[in-house]
Amino acid sequence: MNSVFSFLPRLWSNWITLLGAILTTCSALAIVLVFTVGLFASGANPYAGAILVLVLPFLFIAGLIIIPIGFHIDHRARAKTGVAVELNPAQHAFRTALGKGAARPLIVFFAIATAVNVLVFSIGGQAAVQHMDSAQFCGTTCHTAMEPEWTAYADSQHSHVACVECHIGSGTKWEVKAKLNGLNQLWGVVSGHYHRPVPVPVEQLRPSRDTCEQCHSQAKFTGNKVVVLPHFKPDQSNTPVYNILAVHVGGRDEQSGKYQGIHWHAGHQTEVVYEQLDEARNKVGKIRVYDLTGERKLVSEYLPPERDRSLPVLSVRSMDCIDCHDRPTHVFDASATAAVDRVMGRGGLDPKLPWLAAAATAALEAKDVQAPASAARFRTALDETYRTLHPEVKMTPEMLDPAAKTLAALYHRNVFPKMNVGWGTYRNRLGHKHEGEKVAEIGCFRCHDGEHVKTGPGGAPQTLSQSCELCHEQIVAGDDPATLEADLKQLLPR
């Protein structure tokens, strides 16, 4: 035991070994403390998790590295001054153990210390891996940068699915690749050099067959899906008009075994390959269609308009789920008008209040509304609109307060000034233009633009079809819900 106590003072024989000993000891105690608190705490703290994952293990390892460096420097300094140089502790213990048993306490000390170091590092490492794979780490550690995506994720149908299941998937290769890429992202956040807004599409995503299709089978036959699209005119009565569509989702037909409908594009019997001509994947070059039922065979090739044929090809992609479902979780309203239509259609805004659709849309287009006073600001904006434009309408607090609260929630669900995210920043490619939008090259029209042409039978040019009926049938087009038949009224939200 004397050997152990005679060795310990060497840990503070110079300032370098002392620094290493302090770093290792304090960080080890801190790892155990933070980990223990995390076990019994009622809620997850993203910042405590970040400390456990990113800071403490680094300090712990740094301390272990610094200690032998200090020993080495001390050893050389003693040799230069002519002072008798002792063997370093490990060599001394090893050589003494060969000759006599007096060094056993020192050997036991090193063994215990090593075991403790392994245990502490294992606890920290395991907690680090688990925390870095959690949705809280992805969405809240880099708070400002990821706030828009985290907010949308928490309000989505995939909020119970961990981010890594879609963004990484299974397999060590992709895990390591994602973590290395994450180091670059971490540096961007720490240094403040990151894109505002976060650019889309995400370039590093795996093919959807490795991620999406682990839950959503392409072999499932969905058939037709009825979609109800409400709109409220900006008039006194907030006149409602509804579009009802039967969307041909399709899938693998159980009788024929063939894929049909919209999901034909990414079915296992067909491969659609296209040239990406811009960063946003809005401009599509040459399109090739391959039959995969036997040997992979090219069946169609569509050329882009003449004006685009000289543009450089940024990449060549095989179309999969993400090319259309590009925002399956992080969904934002395309415009203030679309947000009001969606919420009013579900009863979140009372359509019986005169002029509310127009007043709410105008209020939502305000710039940089800060929480927590946003509800009061929207209440003031609505009150001012009615007093100046519609003085004949007497608005009471019972009318204004619920509407202002709903508008505040809508605004902070879609607008994030610090990240330059506003209405229409992130668009969903599943459909066409929303009311008032001027975006043409979006959704289906990226390919079905009426200008991609192939050589048909006999050499005649054949345009890639733009027929609406390929994707959906119009059941109701711009009708007042009061005029609908009883069976169609059953489809409307209550």
Per-residue pLDDT tens for 220-255?
A: 888 889 888 899 999 999 999 988 899 999 888 888
Work out the burial of residue 175: count CB atoms within 10 Å of its CB; fewer than 13 is exposed, 13-18 middle, 19 or more buried.
middle
Q: Do 14 and 120 lie in a common domain?
A: yes
| CA atoms of 55 and 49, how far apart (whole Å) | 10
Domain assignment of residue 393, yes or no: yes
- 70, pLDDT greater than 90: no
Q: Do 41 and 120 lie in a common domain?
A: yes
Residue 12 banded pLDDT, cuts 50, 70, 90: low
Q: Do 186 and 109 lie in a common domain?
A: no
Q: Do 314 and 239 lie in a common domain?
A: yes
Identify the weakest region by mean pLDDT among 74-83, 309-318, 354-363: 74-83
pLDDT of residue 45: 47
Domain assignment of residue 435, yes or no: no
Domain assignment of residue 428, yes or no: no
Q: Are 328 and 202 in contact (CB under 8 A)?
A: no
Q: Do 346 and 312 lie in a common domain?
A: no
The helix (run of H) or strand (run of E) holding residue 110 is: helix 104-132
CA angle 458, 459, 463 (to 5 degrees): 110
Of 90, 116, 132, the position where a domain reaches its end is: 132
| CA atoms of 6 and 8, how far apart (whole Å) | 6
- 335, pLDDT greater than 80: yes
Highest-scoring range by mean pLDDT, 18-32, 134-148, 175-189, 203-217: 203-217
Q: What is the DSSP letter of 421?
A: B
Residue 20 banded pLDDT, cuts 50, 70, 90: confident
| CA atoms of 48 and 55, how far apart (whole Å) | 10
Domain assignment of residue 217, yes or no: no
pLDDT of residue 121: 57
Q: Do 99 and 149 lie in a common domain?
A: no
pLDDT per residue over 475-494, tens digit each? 888 777 778 788 777 777 76
| CA atoms of 377 and 381, how far apart (whole Å) | 6
Q: Do 248 and 322 lie in a common domain?
A: yes
pLDDT of residue 452: 94
Phi first, then psi, for residue 248 (nearest 5°) are -85, 75
Q: Do 321 and 446 lie in a common domain?
A: yes
Domain assignment of residue 206, yes or no: no
Domain assignment of residue 242, yes or no: yes
Q: Do 364 and 293 lie in a common domain?
A: no
Q: Do 343 and 314 lie in a common domain?
A: no
pLDDT per residue over 137-170, tens digit each? 777 776 678 889 999 999 998 988 888 888 887 7
Domain assignment of residue 211, yes or no: no
pLDDT of residue 389: 93
Amino acid at 40: F
Residue 394's domain comprises 336-419
Q: 136 versus 114: which is more confidently predicted?
A: 136
Q: What is the DSSP letter of 311?
A: S
The model's pTM is 0.72
Domain assignment of residue 470, yes or no: yes
Q: Do 449 and 324 lie in a common domain?
A: yes
Q: Do 304 and 388 lie in a common domain?
A: no
pLDDT of residue 59: 73
Number of structural domains in the chain: 4
Residue 44 banded pLDDT, cuts 50, 70, 90: very low
C-alpha gyration radius of the chain: 32
